[in-house]
A = this chain, B = another copy of it.
């Protein structure tokens, strides 16, 4: 068993093309012993966004703090707030963005791609 605390984990800026003002923390990952699943926390500052992209694994997202939007494969924006969850299918185009004035935080859980 491993217990981690969000505030003790060092974040790293997401340095991908199309990402802006996004910091990622690994809340639970292989370094804590997990094998099948990885849980990440994304902090998106006002004006920031993740890439509008696709990948071959599913996303299970839970909003933790603030407000933001998810952009679906058709380019439609859906506003998000705490208490909401987003499932993104493998190979489905998506983007998370923060057009608001407060930080937007979400957890994003994925199958371990290194498994």
Contact = CB atoms under 8 A, between A and B. Distances in A.
Contacts of A60: 27-28, 34, 37, 39, 109
Given A3-B78, A28-B60, A34-B60, 9 more contacts: A1-B72, A1-B94, A3-B80, A3-B84, A3-B87, A5-B84, A6-B83, A7-B83, A27-B62
A108 to B, nearest CB: 11
Interface residues on A, range: 35 or more
Contacts of A85: 3-6, 27-28, 39
Nearest to A71: B1
A33 B2 contact: no
Interface in A55-108: 57-58, 60, 62, 70, 72-73, 78, 80, 83-90, 92, 94, 107
